[in-house]
Chain A
Amino acid sequence: MLSGVVDAGPSTRRNRGGAWSRWVTAGTRNLGLIGVFGFGIVLIFCIAAVIGPVAVGSSVDRIAAPPFLRPGGAGFLLGTDELGRSELARVIVAARIAIVAAFGSVVCGLVLGVAMGVIAAYVGGVVDQVLGRLMDFIFGFPSYVLPILIAVVLGPGLWVACLSIGLTFSPQFGRISRTATLNIRHRAYVSVAKLSGRSPQWIIFRHILPNIVGPLAVMVGLSLANAEGSYAVLAYLGYGVAPPAPDYGSMLSDAQVFMLNDSWAVLFPCIALVLLVLGFVFIGDWLRERFDPRGEIRFGRGVSGQ
């Protein structure tokens, strides 16, 4: 992990190259090489997500004249897909869906999971048992089964996917919050707050939540990459956003048929997706270095009740 100090003698080197190189050096010092890479990539995708659809505009759907599946060339930088639409435009616009999918899922999972875990640990007793069973139940669904089922019931779509993927992540967030809350529940400052007559809500929001951020952050890092990958799979299987909205997973699924001969349409969404996931992975690594350098936080099922 190349985090930490990279540039050992900041004061002795003059920063030539002006502002840009100063940014990079500062970033490297705080984030490490990996962190810079990760945040950088995700940042680029976020920018694409925000301004992309506006900038690209209608050219997303504009269908050009045949032949389709043209490689990069006149007018179309990255070529066209099987329906004649601009690959470049579609790749850029699909970034929005990808970013929303990843962050949306993680946020859903966090809210659900933390609520379950903290309440289970704080209240204890029967509530703990019931919530624990609930988490086991959700966790018992193998990957994708639950999101697929939910998509079948509610109809496929981006927000449905976020909710359902978030739901599948909630047991892990729940377990981590539960363990972390159990550790803190008996700390002196919580006891003092109780003795002072503070309400449980106050204690949870002021003392418990801020102090469980650490382990959660590590899990968030892991989950971002996972969420992106899971959404891509869902989209590939047809449960993502409806066409003709561009979406890496469905683009890949459509283009896969032509892969043997015309690999253009497959290549670019693939690269974009892999880059984005890598970016999330690196962010996850940075978060892990920052919050859990000695690897104390463990994932996995554990014994029920842990």
Chain B
Amino acid sequence: MLRQMAPETGDLLTVSDLTVSYAGAHAPAVRDVSFQIRDGERVGVVGESGSGKTTLALAVSDLLPRAAAIRRGSVTLQGTDCSTLTPRALRGIRGSVIGRVPQDPLAGLNPVLTVRTQLRDAIRAHRSLPKGAERQEIVDVLQAVAIPDIDAKLRLYPHELSGGMRQRVLIAMALVNHPALLVADEPTTALDATIQAQILSIIRRASLDRNMALVLVSHNINVVASVCDRIIVMYRGEIVEDAPSDTIYRTPLHPYTKVLIEASKSQPLDHGEIDIDGDAPSAGCQYRPLCPHPMPQCDREHPLLDDIGSGRSVRCFAVTAVPTRAHEEGRPSSATQGTSTTEWAGSTSDRPPHGDLRGGQGRPTSAQLGPVLVAEGLVKLYKSRGRSKRQVLRAVDGVSLECWSGGTIGIVGESGCGKTTLGRIISGLIEPTSGKVSIAPGGQGAPDPLGPRRGTVQMVFQDPSESLDPHIRIAESIKEPILKGHESSLPNRVNAALSAVGLDPKLGGQLPHQLSGGQQQRACIARAIIAKPSVVVLDEAVSSLDAILRNEILRLLIQLQRESNLSYVFISHDMTAVLAVSDRVVVMYLGRIVESVGREALKRDGFVHPYSVLLESAQPRPGSAGDLPELLVRTNVELPALAVRGAGCRFSNRCPLADDRCRTEEPELSQYSSDHVAACYHAGELRQHAS
């Protein structure tokens, strides 16, 4: 099946008025969606959960589950309407004309078959090649996704590969038959930032080299903007804006797009929580309930997606009702004032701005209040049984840190760095192998008679849907940290806690599954603070949330901190989130702290340890996948297993600055400048990263 151009329009893929709905749902998942993709075009689809973007991706690659059906509209591929194709013909298209990369790499590969078998089958499903040619194709495609040591890898089973490798194999499987279109649905969500950057770069390169069209679906607009030239924004099943990437950043037109872009940079937002699960208005614009500048029309009529020229379409009366002259001049029209996003456009600054939710207000200096958490020399070893030599896993290898009362210490690092283990040790869920954690009583003034013993820690976890007992009502769950106490005032406390996190107290009587993800996480926060703990450890508390929701929660956390003088340990792999809320940032790598810097010092010096620089530069930004920072290119090696470690700096096998001293002597944390320590002999030398 070779690629052809559609005879009339030259479009590769045309979606017209597509409406898809699931059995039993009251609203269609995808509604009246129309767009075209040309040969070789890279299009990103952005939206939060519930926006219909995944359903759209499934519909385009004809993989809709049985429960979904196309109610109206069509998908036309290379001039042929897909609904007219026989199942056999459809099967012929899948994999050869359209390739698909799914979200979860482990689940996407069959665990009982080798890599070679699955790749071979992907080829043989469509072509039958002589052995030599087949093998060559496999080698070629694996090289294209930058997998080293190809022969060895072919023989492996999926569970023997790391996450990044698996995802690359999946991409290879999608590419092996040289499809004309690649559909990638959240291909990097489960991966660390550095690996994510590599994968996105691989995808973009594949698209460029093969003149292959690309549809990249993600909830993260930065991810999409880093790879694609054109972005489609979806909200509640509809396209609300469709524009080239750079113009959408410079002048977003639809209010929802503006919100998305601001959220991606951790800018303050000024409206309520976006609740996709709630009912959409039955008439008028779907975004009306959240729109900051609605017009009278918006209540009555449903806006259409209008083409306003220069490759842009918007679904908004406020935009289209205004004369288009303003758009042609490239200036924001009067209806869209108040949303400057100048920081992206043509910016000479290489670093993504540190979203500053704190607004830089004056705060009581922490030194006056004393440390509430002191951890000294924490070490956690795990013996891994079953190996011939007893290998020891050094999950946390000598970590000391302090958190001041009312402040936030942010711990950032990739998977395997030990930050989660550290969080659990601090909270007391895990006993450290050695070292000590001291927690002072909470900074609330009078001891709380209803609370448990003083000096306690509570936690907020990553996945809100699994954080609450599904059989217990919200109010009961929230009450849990309060042991036998004064029952009479309990209901008040619960209601107070609910209000403090922005939830209607009436929700207390509901079960978790009746709440949205954002509401659930708020409930978890209420639960964490109700007993007035000394420290709250937040372990990836916002990592499962879409951008807008994430920002809401971050703002809530800061607000609560101001009101109640809470102290946070904020753990995340997401640098942006950490930077948004922390007074002090601690970077961990393989069980150790490699850099610790205060907020002001960070503004002044930037990151100085090569790994921190790497981590920061790996955050996706518009166009970043096009020119991968040299740093990332050189660190192509997958993260080494925790157990295997030689002497010397842990990062030395990946660091471009490593010299002999680095490889033999492990650097200790040493003062770089005021309020800034780093464990590196070459601290500060790697300043220019986004080249």
Contacts and interface: CB of A to CB of B under 8 A. Distances in A.
A193 interface: yes
B480 A196 contact: yes
Interface string A193-212: 11111100000001100110
A193 B480 contact: yes
A187 B480 contact: no
A166 B471 CA distance: 28
Residue in A195, A206, A207, A211 with the greatest tally of chain B CB atoms within 10 Å = A195
Given A193-B480, A195-B456, A196-B480, A188 B429 contact: no
Contact of A191 (B456, B459, B463): B459
B429 A196 contact: no
Contacts of B452: 196-197
Contacts of B459: 188, 191-192, 195
B427 A196 contact: no
B471 A188 contact: no
A197 B429 CA distance: 11
Residue in A192, A194, A197 with the greatest tally of chain B CB atoms within 10 Å = A192
A211 B457 contact: no
A189 interface: yes
Contacts of A206: 469, 472
B458 interface: yes
Given A192-B527, A195-B456, A195-B457, A187 B466 contact: yes
A209 to B, nearest CB: 10
A210 to B, nearest CB: 5
B457 to A, nearest CB: 6
B12 interface: no
Given A196-B452, A196-B480, A196-B483, A191 B471 contact: no
B567 to A, nearest CB: 15
Contacts of A191: 429, 459, 461
Given A188-B459, A191-B429, A196 B469 contact: no
Contact of A195 (B429, B468, B471, B482): B429
A192 to B, nearest CB: 6
A234 to B, nearest CB: 37
B429 to A, nearest CB: 6
A188 B524 contact: yes
Instruction: Please classify how large the interface on chain A is, using the bins under 10, 10 to 19, 20 to 34, 35 or more.
Output: 10 to 19
B480 A198 contact: yes
Contact of B463 (A188, A192, A197, A211): A188
Contact of B483 (A188, A194, A197, A207): A197
Contact of B467 (A189, A196, A197, A211): A189
Contact of A192 (B470, B481, B483): B481
Contacts, number: 56
Interface in B452-496: 452-453, 456-459, 461, 463, 466-472, 477, 480-483
A211 B471 CA distance: 8
Interface string B326-359: 0000000000000000000000000000000000
Nearest to B471: A210
Contact of A189 (B428, B458, B469): B469
A306 to B, nearest CB: 15
Contacts of A196: 452, 458, 480-483, 531
Contacts of A192: 458-459, 467, 480-481, 527-528
A211 B429 contact: no
A195 B483 contact: no
Main secondary structure of the interface of A (DSSP, over half): helix
A195 B461 contact: no
A211 B483 CA distance: 22
Interface in A221-265: none
Contacts of A198: 480, 483
Contacts of A189: 467-469, 472, 477, 480
A194 B467 contact: no
A195 B461 CA distance: 13
A194 B469 contact: no
Nearest to B469: A189
Contacts of A210: 469, 471
Nearest to A213: B471
A195 B469 contact: no
A25 B471 CA distance: 29
A195 B428 contact: yes
Interface string A174-190: 00000000000001110
Interface in B512-539: 524, 527-528, 531
B453 A197 contact: yes
Contacts of A195: 427-429, 456-459, 481
Contact of B429 (A187, A194, A207): A194
Contacts of A187: 466-467
Interface string A38-49: 000000000000
A187 B459 CA distance: 12
Contacts of B470: 211
A13 B448 CA distance: 61
A210 B463 CA distance: 20
A196 B524 CA distance: 14
B303 to A, nearest CB: 36
A194 B427 CA distance: 10
B428 A207 contact: no
A206 B527 CA distance: 17
B469 A207 contact: yes
Residue in B452, B457, B471, B480 with the greatest tally of chain A CB atoms within 10 Å = B480
A55 to B, nearest CB: 41
A267 B466 CA distance: 53
Nearest to A196: B481
Nearest to B466: A187
A206 B472 CA distance: 9
Nearest to B465: A188
Given A194-B429, A196-B452, A188 B480 contact: no
Contact of A188 (B456, B461, B481, B531): B461
B472 to A, nearest CB: 8
Nearest to A194: B429
Contacts of B429: 191, 194-195
Contacts of A194: 429
Contacts of B528: 192
A198 B531 CA distance: 14
A211 B470 CA distance: 8
Contacts of A188: 459, 461, 463, 466-468, 524
Interface string B84-98: 000000000000000
A189 B467 CA distance: 5
Interface in A241-293: none
A53 B472 CA distance: 43
B566 to A, nearest CB: 15
Q: Which 9 A-B pairs have the closest CB atoms?
A: A188-B467, A188-B461, A196-B481, A189-B469, A210-B471, A197-B452, A207-B469, A187-B466, A195-B458
19 contacts: A187-B466, A188-B461, A189-B472, A189-B480, A191-B461, A192-B481, A192-B527, A192-B528, A194-B429, A195-B427, A195-B429, A195-B481, A196-B458, A196-B481, A197-B456, A206-B469, A207-B469, A210-B469, A211-B469
Interface of B: 427-429, 452-453, 456-459, 461, 463, 466-472, 477, 480-483, 524, 527-528, 531
Given A187-B466, A195-B481, 5 more contacts: A188-B468, A188-B524, A192-B480, A195-B427, A195-B456
